[in-house]
Structure 1
């Protein structure tokens, strides 16, 4: 899983080191890179494994080929996706288009989201996080807990 938050700087050649734990997870999935695309939910870059983008593609393909939603999702996700391979030092080069979308200039945050991660401009993420915490608190009852977890609390 992709957990935690890491801040890394962009080097003079426009490369950034992907956190070692994120690279390790992707490597365990048999992939030496990451798929990135601009988020359509916020000003961040979505990042995932090859398997995850294939599942997204299959989900999009399950829509009717004549349905507008299919084109919207394919255009917003698949046509904007970039397959970025790690160099020998675990770095990737994000395109200018992706960096502009997220308003990233010198450094970025790699934000674990479980099965995926996001890449943010640090100040923008801090603002988002404050709002996300408030909304998570308001919506905490909607999290589904398996009976197993409820029976083992406090053990």
Structure 2
């Protein structure tokens, strides 16, 4: 559902304007209700339609709570999960703690990742993208499944 990369400016209150091409599908899919949480591997945010997030949350909750690694993931992902709703102008308000975690200021990048979106600081994304391009140019660094893919 989500693909592509959009450069967007957050407003002074920390609101993100969801691109027009996503608004109608989101309204139909999840009543324009989203969930944002942190990415535990990168300093960015993950934004899910609420119905997609609920499936993920069930899986996270089912992890064994006596396993310390599982508890950390539960605390980080569910603990930071925040409900968002598009306002009449197609914007969502991103809470300050989430913006701080991802280093989001004015210029951000919203990236489609299939069933979810990622939200990055523009400068952080550009730096990370360049690092990724270095690794991708080294075929021995790619999984076998990707090496057999023809683009």
CA RMSD in angstroms comes to 2.2
Q: Evaluate the alpha carbon distance shift between residue 70 and residue 29 of structure 1 in structure 2; reply closer, same or farther with a 3 A threshold.
A: same
> How far 1:56 sits from its partner (Å)?
1.6
CA contact (8 A) 1:2 1:25 kept: no
CA distance in 2, matches of 1:51, 1:122: 28
CA distance in 2, matches of 1:109, 1:4: 10
Aligned to 2:113: 113
CA distance in 2, matches of 1:144, 1:75: 36
Structure 2 unaligned residues grouped into runs of 5+: none
CA contact (8 A) 1:47 1:116 kept: yes
CA distance in 2, matches of 1:65, 1:13: 37
> How far 1:144 sits from its partner (Å)?
9.0
Which structure 2 residues correspond to residues 115-130 of structure 1 after superposition, within 5 A?
Answer: 115-130=115-130
Aligned to 2:42: 42
Aligned to 1:142: 145
Aligned to 2:5: 5
Aligned residue pairs total: 147
Q: Evaluate the alpha carbon distance shift between residue 140 and residue 70 of structure 1 in structure 2; reply closer, same or farther with a 3 A threshold.
A: closer
> How far 1:140 sits from its partner (Å)?
5.5
CA contact (8 A) 2:8 2:16 kept: yes
Structure 1 unaligned residues grouped into runs of 5+: none
> How far 1:16 sits from its partner (Å)?
2.0
> How far 1:39 sits from its partner (Å)?
1.4
Q: Evaluate the alpha carbon distance shift between residue 136 and residue 47 of structure 1 in structure 2; reply closer, same or farther with a 3 A threshold.
A: farther
Aligned to 2:133: 133
SS at match of 1:3: coil
Q: Evaluate the alpha carbon distance shift between residue 104 and residue 64 of structure 1 in structure 2; reply closer, same or farther with a 3 A threshold.
A: closer
CA contact (8 A) 1:61 1:70 kept: no
Question: Based on CA coordinates, which of the two structures has the bigger radius of gyration?
Answer: 1
CA distance in 1, matches of 2:83, 2:41: 20
